[in-house]
A and B are shown apart, each in its own frame.
Chain A
């Protein structure tokens, strides 16, 4: 089929566009300016003074001849709208009578003035103002966080004083999804972290002929720091994000509003069981991670240093005490509460569209991990201060 071939001719009334051929969006179609330019070029070669300028009589009317037009789609409309723009700029009349009826109907639809004018756009802010706005937003979100922490603490107080019925079902769902379901990933990460610590120890300590002390490093590292920390990071990505997405979706489906209009506290019903669920489960997972990580370290020590398991554990137990293990467990309980808190807070603060749920989940993970690291630093500092 012949390709779209418009041609512009000058007539006594103005310009006449002869539309011909097949117009398809999938094939490249001509632009109005280009066709007009081509016509001007040919004319200026013949009679250089006759150019269709705004004042020139040639540009009074833009007419169409569609007798040779075969099939068309939106590409023709785009071309014609470019013609309309040309007419608006050069104050000539756009004469649609020569166009097929459907084409002129569609063009008329596209040119209808909207009933309601768009809201005026706020003026762009200066860099200083933007800095101020960002500062206020940061302060607001910090204050929101403190308020939410207060609400959660108040809810816990009401639970402990028996004024609130505990949502056991939501609690058990958290316990269940953070027990057997989380074990494979915790096993893998903890085992590898134990292996990495042991490798590090072998490389560094062997230089001083102190390879035997690798077991100290593995024991200390896993029990005091890495067991709880790595479990916390895994659960922040796995469960913290899940909390935010779940509660965020409830906001979009108006389930949170349904609580609000019954005067039921979402903190009592949704937040508390989730926070307490992780508060209970994270220490258990951390203890498991400690054991798995120590076995990872043992495997490396046996393989690279020819230590026997008895030597490894014997050495470790002379250096590592129960207080080290308890410190790790204590940290894990704090991490659990912080992850639950961050996930629920971002879930409840979700906006009202689907992408807001994604942002809430991301923010929950970022906040969860940030809080974990900060808490870790504070606890370590206090432990050093009190010689624990």
Chain B
């Protein structure tokens, strides 16, 4: 998959500086004007450019009715859009995350450049359509950009529904997800047999199962790939905390373990977008910075994986 690399102009640099310096003073709704250019990859089925770092909501956006945490989540979303992000992914399985997204999008204004990715997750085939409608209401969006069958739950029925919705213009892209490596064989079968725009898998420097068959197959069939859990729910970062970052990480501008880990994920040519989840504005900025800088090449990637494995 080809990178759509940012062209940094004086205008972009000025806009980025202003965005970082005066984020709190940004006029709401002006995202397109202030977002810096970030590395994007094309969605194979349409050619649409997608910033290579997105935002996950699993656990982090499930904050219930807590006003303080709702506002914190909205601040994370604002920082994400300011840094040039677009794709936000959620699911009906993620507790109140969809409501939190709705709260944030409503607070930030209608002109956010969000690429809304959600899922259908119900074992009852008849409940799929109503669940999607509820999810749209929670987000406050008229339609989703991407709908995926969550963890292959009742995938045959739900994919039929999603294909009908796509044909009717009720969703732009469709796909499937799994967070379980042991289901990759079934996942692969669906990829072979069904027309898909996207797949979503768990992929990180210590969980490389997808590299063998899933990612090459996605490239071969022209399916966009969303990588979730790039930090293994921060467990990877906790594991690496206090350990030295190798000096050669500077070769691709990784200044922290989180950047090291995220750059490993997004440098795989099959990955269209990684979706790290966070509750912190500084973390979302750090993640988005990965989308602007250089990425490791194949040799460096192997070196990275070996280094972390041996720690």
Q: Please indicate whether A and B come from the same complex rather than being unrelated chains.
A: no
